Structure 1
Amino acid sequence: MSQSPPPAQRRRLARGLRMAGVLLVAGLAAWLVLAWTLFYDPPLGPAGRADAVVVLAGAAAERLPLGQDLVDDGVADELVLSSTGLPGNTATDAVCAEENPRITCFVPDPLTTRGEARAVAALARDNGWDDIVVVTSAYHVTRASVNLAQCSTADITMAGSRPDLGAPGWLARFVEESTALVASVVRPACARAV
């Protein structure tokens, strides 16, 4: 027959478990506040005149119209689109299939934000672009900005489209983007900005 711990030890164990629970809840709350700030409502500056408006791949139904609107509003003369052939990018890929001298399309290698950052840096360098507006979903702004800054010395202004996500969708994005942001800091997209 096992002996139960003495009352003093049980009280210490209960206090320790309560403290661990409080710390866990406080840590989760702090992460949610930080995730909200970085991924739901990231800081965005006004999109001034730029050399190009670049639309990153994925969520094309929300990102592409914002990029097109920025060009239509005179932010830049050139629209640059990331073309991937992936399901979430069909609207953008369809635009890339058309002949339009005001639209440049590129295929990132690899088909990731890191690959896009490298491709945008090369396009900026090759075309002499000093100012770029980059369009992506609000939840993706922070990570994309970090990757782009790691790869390019161009002045980059981020523009965030607003996805139609419910609470579970936003929570999933918070988890995904938090993990990917840490990876972006630990393993930069580029060794140095070009």
Structure 2
Amino acid sequence: MHQKGTVAVKIITDTLLGLFAVWFTVCLFLFNLDSPAAPASHVDAVIVLGGSSAERLPVAQRLAADAGAPVLAVSWTDTPGNLTADALCREASFPSSSLVCFRPPGMDTRGEAEAIRKLVKSNGWSSIAVVTSSYHVPRARTLIEQCTDARVSMVASEPKLDSLQWLRRFVIETGGLLDVKLHPECGT
């Protein structure tokens, strides 16, 4: 009986380790190695999502200049991770035809998707490029595409995370991606 219990524990342990390895490999490709590049054609606006703005905002500004996008739209959250973007919005003169700062309801990606839906509709944009961290691209793309018919190009900025921070992001983004698939945004 004791030997059967040991064999069962080994089978369960090996199965769990195998499942973890498969999940980790999928996460590595989905949230880290599969970073979309800049859009191939003109876009009506470049939008930078909130959080990690010191990493994301320079990518968005460079993209807007390179792509000749007439508008840079910035998520303005007044949160610690968004200091650079928030400072840009605080210091800007409004109204501005080239800079739009928006406050997402709920201060999360779902709120940003809803705010982007409203911006696209009110400005008649047919194509947008959205800048966010590489780990955030799959979930953000899913939410934004649920909210708008505009052509959405995702552009990844590259975070500087250590191994434990990546593992944490993998867990958070896996849960978040499952949530947006099970509970779509914007009534779709």
TM bin, normalised by shorter chain, reads: over 0.9
Question: Is the counterpart of residue 27 in structure 1 residue 19 in structure 2?
Answer: yes
Counterpart pick for 2:5 among 6, 9, 13: 13
| Deviation for aligned residue 1:147 | 0.6
Show structure 1 runs of 5+ residues with no match. 1-8
Give 1:157's aligned residue: 153
SS at match of 1:181: helix
Amino acid at match of 1:154: A
| Deviation for aligned residue 1:101 | 3.3
Matches within 5 A, 1:103-182: 103-182=99-178
| Deviation for aligned residue 1:45 | 4.7
Give 1:86's aligned residue: 79
Give 1:59's aligned residue: 52
* Runs of 4+ residues deviating >6 angstroms: none
| Deviation for aligned residue 1:38 | 1.3
| Deviation for aligned residue 1:75 | 4.2
Give 1:185's aligned residue: 181
Counterpart pick for 1:74 among 67, 74, 86: 67
Go from structure 1 to structure 2 and tell me whether the alpha carbon gap of 1:134 and 1:183 turns closer, same or farther (over 3 Å shift). same
The TM-score normalised by the length of structure 2 is 0.94
Q: Which moved more, 1:180-189 or 1:136-145?
A: 180-189
Cα shift readout 1:34-69 (whole Å, capped 9, x = no counterpart): 111111123515412100000000000000000000
Show structure 2 runs of 5+ residues with no match. none
Amino acid at match of 1:57: G
Task: Give yes or no for contact 1:42–1:141 (8 Å, CA) kept in 2.
Answer: no
Amino acid at match of 1:160: A
SS at match of 1:62: helix
Percentage identity across aligned positions? 37
Go from structure 1 to structure 2 and tell me whether the alpha carbon gap of 1:75 and 1:19 turns closer, same or farther (over 3 Å shift). farther
What RMSD over aligned residues (CA atoms) do the two structures have, in Å? 1.2
Amino acid at match of 1:144: A
Greater CA radius of gyration, 1 or 2?
Answer: 1
Q: Write the distance in 1 (CA, Å) between the matches of 2:83 and 2:185.
A: 25
Task: Give yes or no for contact 1:57–1:82 (8 Å, CA) kept in 2.
Answer: yes
Task: Give yes or no for contact 1:134–1:159 (8 Å, CA) kept in 2.
Answer: yes
SS at match of 1:76: coil
SS at match of 1:81: strand
SS at match of 1:165: coil
Task: Give yes or no for contact 1:42–1:142 (8 Å, CA) kept in 2.
Answer: no
Residues paired across the two proteins, number:
184
